[in-house]
């Protein structure tokens, strides 16, 4: 049975997860996600991948508890889950998790592997693995340490308690809380802007941010290299020329910079 339903429109792929009864990360679901993510490597028609759930209460429950054992098959499945997390993080496309239900354990790790994550009032986020005698297995503790800091991460991992979307936003577990009634309009607005960019723009900022988190000086060096390379491009010069023509570096910028960008885009599309 296929667990993913995939549709693509305007460079945005929507991946809907449906693995009844509660969207557990089984080996079949993990393999299907891995196959799809890896298939995007040379895909020029997809710039953004949005992950959603068809389940009313669960985004992704957690890793299948039946594979958490000492058998060769169980260990192999757990390693494939870890590979899935790494593959999502390595995507050149922008990955977006839209969470309108529970995401615990591996589900929460999936969410944190995505570039952007939005949660509604119906969502919950947690890493409760300690209560089944294991640590996190998909970089949950690593991400909590990096996002929450030592004390908050340790408390969250030892308690394993749920966080609401508002709490998760405050702790940097997700990008933003968005009410369920507003989520579709919100996504339409921001993804319309992002999908209008080139994939290389997404890759560029992913690389700069990743490098900067590891090493500030290395991030600064990479940023400058990108800046100097892009400054030489004919596309950059054409945009700057049109931007100045339509009021760039004048009083219009103070109140209508978006209008200048719109006029610039219209000029270049002629």
- Angstrom distance (rounded) from CA 16 to CA 55: 9
Alpha carbon 157 to chain centroid, angstroms: 22
Confidence of residue 213 (pLDDT cuts 50, 70, 90): very high
Q: Taking residues 199-219, what's their average pLDDT?
A: 97
Q: Flag whether pLDDT at 164 surpasses 80.
A: yes
Q: Do residues 10 and 48 make contact, with C-beta atoms less than 8 angstroms apart?
A: no
3-state secondary structure of 63: strand
Query: What would the two tokens of residue 31 be?
Result: 């393999």
Helix (H) / strand (E) containing 117: strand 116-119
- Measured from the Cβ of residue 140, the count of other Cβ atoms closer than 10 Å reads 25
β-strand pairing of 176-177 with 48-53 = unpaired
Q: Taking residues 57-85, what's their average pLDDT?
A: 95
Confidence of residue 70 (pLDDT cuts 50, 70, 90): confident
- Give pTM, 2 decimals: 0.95
Residues in the chain: 270
Helix (H) / strand (E) containing 80: helix 72-90
């Amino acid at each position: 049975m296929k667990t993913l339903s995939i549709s693509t429109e305007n460079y945005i792929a929507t991946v809907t997860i449906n693995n009844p009864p509660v969207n557990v990360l089984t080996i079949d679901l993990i393999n299907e996600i891995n196959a799809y993510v890896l298939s995007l490597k040379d895909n020029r028609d997809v710039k953004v991948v949005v992950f959603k759930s068809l389940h009313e209460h669960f985004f992704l429950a957690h890793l299948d508890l039946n594979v958490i054992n000492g058998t060769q098959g169980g260990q192999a499945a757990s390693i494939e889950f870890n590979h899935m997390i790494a593959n999502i993080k390595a995507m050149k496309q922008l990955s977006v998790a839209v969470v309108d239900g529970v995401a615990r354990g591996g589900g929460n790790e999936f969410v944190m592997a995505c570039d952007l994550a939005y949660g509604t009032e119906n969502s919950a986020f947690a890493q409760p693995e300690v209560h089944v005698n294991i640590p996190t297995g998909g970089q949950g503790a690593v991400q909590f340490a990096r996002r929450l800091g030592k004390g908050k991460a340790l408390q969250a991992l030892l308690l394993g308690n749920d966080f609401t979307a508002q709490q998760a936003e405050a702790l940097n577990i997700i990008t933003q809380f968005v009410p369920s009634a507003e989520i579709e309009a919100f996504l339409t607005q921001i993804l319309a802007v992002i999908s209008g960019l080139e994939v290389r723009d997404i890759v560029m900022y992913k690389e700069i941010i990743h490098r900067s988190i590891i090493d500030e000086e290395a991030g600064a060096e990479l940023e400058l290299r990108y800046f100097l390379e892009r400054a030489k491009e004919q596309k950059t010069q054409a945009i700057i020329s049109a931007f100045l023509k339509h009021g760039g570096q004048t009083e219009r910028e103070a109140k209508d910079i978006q209008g200048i960008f719109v006029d610039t885009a219209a000029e270049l599309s002629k």
